[in-house]
C-alpha cells in the first residue's frame, strides 16, 4: 500500500514538473524537426487505437471503376499532394515541414482499412497538420478519395493520366 501511494505521488510530481517545464517555454514549438522515435511510436499507437475505436464500421459505397478512380485522383491532386506527395513529386513540398511529418503515399501506401481512412479524411487528426475534410468535400468525394488511396499504385489508364499528368492545384 505504501509503495502504491508513493508511486501515485511520484507520478503526480512528474506530471507537475512536465507542466512547469512546458509553461516555462522549454518545449520546442518547431514543426520542421523530426519527432523522436519514442514520440513517434507512442503517438502512432494512440492514433491507431483512437481511429480504430471511433471509426464506424462502414463499407465503401463507391465502386473502384475508372470514373471514380479518376475523380479520386483529381481530388487527391487538388487537396493532398502538397503534404502527401504524388508521382511527379514523391517527396511532398511540405514533407520536411510538418510535425509530425505526413506519410508519403507514393512511397508507402495508406494501409489502414477503408472505413478508418474515411474517418480520418472526414475528421482530420488532432495535433497534426492533417485537416478534416467534411466541411469541404461531400461524402461521395471523400469515398472517391479513399478508393483512390486503396488503388493508387494500380490505376486504370484514365485515372493514371489524371494522377500523373494534370498539375496539382497546390503547386507553388
Ligand atoms: C497540410 C497537410 C496535409 C494535407 C493537405 C493533407 N494531409 Fe493527410 N496527413 C497529414 C499529416 C501530417 C498526417 C499524419 C498524422 C499522424 O501522424 O497521425 C496525415 C495523415 C493522413 C492519413 C492517415 C495515414 C496513416 O496511415 O496514418 C490519411 C489516410 C491521409 N492523411 C489522407 C489525406 C488525404 C486523402 C488528403 C487530401 C484530401 C490529405 N490527407 C491532406 C497532413 C496533411
Q: Could you tell me the distance, in angstroms and rounded to a whole number, from the CA of residue 130 to the centre of ligand 1?
A: 5
Q: What's the pLDDT tens digit per position in 49-80?
A: 999 999 999 999 999 999 999 999 999 999 99
Q: What's the pLDDT tens digit per position in 113-126?
A: 999 999 999 999 99
pLDDT grade, residue 169 (50/70/90)? low
CA angle 31, 90, 136 (to 5 degrees): 65
Residues in the chain: 172
Ligand 1 is surrounded, with C-beta below 6 A, by 47, 76, 79-80, 82-84, 94, 98, 100, 102-103, 110, 112, 117, 120-121, 125, 128-131, 133, 145, 149
What proportion of the chain, given as a percentage, has pLDDT over 90? 83
Q: Could you tell me the distance, in angstroms and rounded to a whole number, from the CA of residue 41 to the centre of ligand 1?
A: 17
Distances (CA, A) of 36 to 44, 50, 72, 101: 12, 21, 34, 12
Q: Of 96, 75, 92, 98, nearest to 152 (Cα)? A: 75
Q: How far apart are CA 42 and CA 52, in angstroms?
A: 15
* Burial of residue 155, with CB atoms counted within 10 A of its CB: 0-12 exposed, 13-18 middle, 19 or more buried: buried
pLDDT grade, residue 171 (50/70/90)? low
Q: How far apart are CA 108 and CA 86, in angstroms?
A: 11
Amino acid at each position: 500500500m505504501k509503495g502504491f501511494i508513493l508511486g501515485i505521488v511520484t507520478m503526480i510530481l512528474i506530471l507537475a514538473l512536465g507542466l512547469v517545464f512546458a509553461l516555462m517555454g522549454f518545449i520546442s514549438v518547431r514543426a520542421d524537426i523530426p519527432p523522436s522515435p519514442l514520440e513517434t511510436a507512442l503517438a502512432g499507437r494512440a492514433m491507431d487505437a483512437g481511429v480504430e475505436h471511433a471509426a464506424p464500421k462502414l463499407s465503401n459505397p463507391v465502386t473502384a471503376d475508372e470514373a471514380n478512380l479518376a475523380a479520386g485522383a483529381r481530388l487527391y491532386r487538388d487537396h493532398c499532394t502538397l503534404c502527401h506527395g504524388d508521382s511527379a513529386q514523391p517527396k511532398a513540398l511540405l514533407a520536411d515541414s510538418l510535425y509530425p511529418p505526413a506519410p508519403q503515399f507514393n512511397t508507402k501506401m495508406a494501409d489502414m482499412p477503408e472505413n478508418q481512412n474515411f474517418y480520418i479524411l472526414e475528421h482530420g487528426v488532432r495535433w497534426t497538420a492533417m485537416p478534416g475534410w467534411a466541411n469541404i468535400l461531400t461524402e461521395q468525394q471523400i469515398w472517391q478519395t479513399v478508393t483512390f488511396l486503396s488503388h493508387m499504385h494500380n490505376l486504370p489508364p484514365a485515372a493514371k493520366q489524371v494522377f500523373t499528368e494534370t498539375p496539382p492545384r497546390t503547386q507553388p
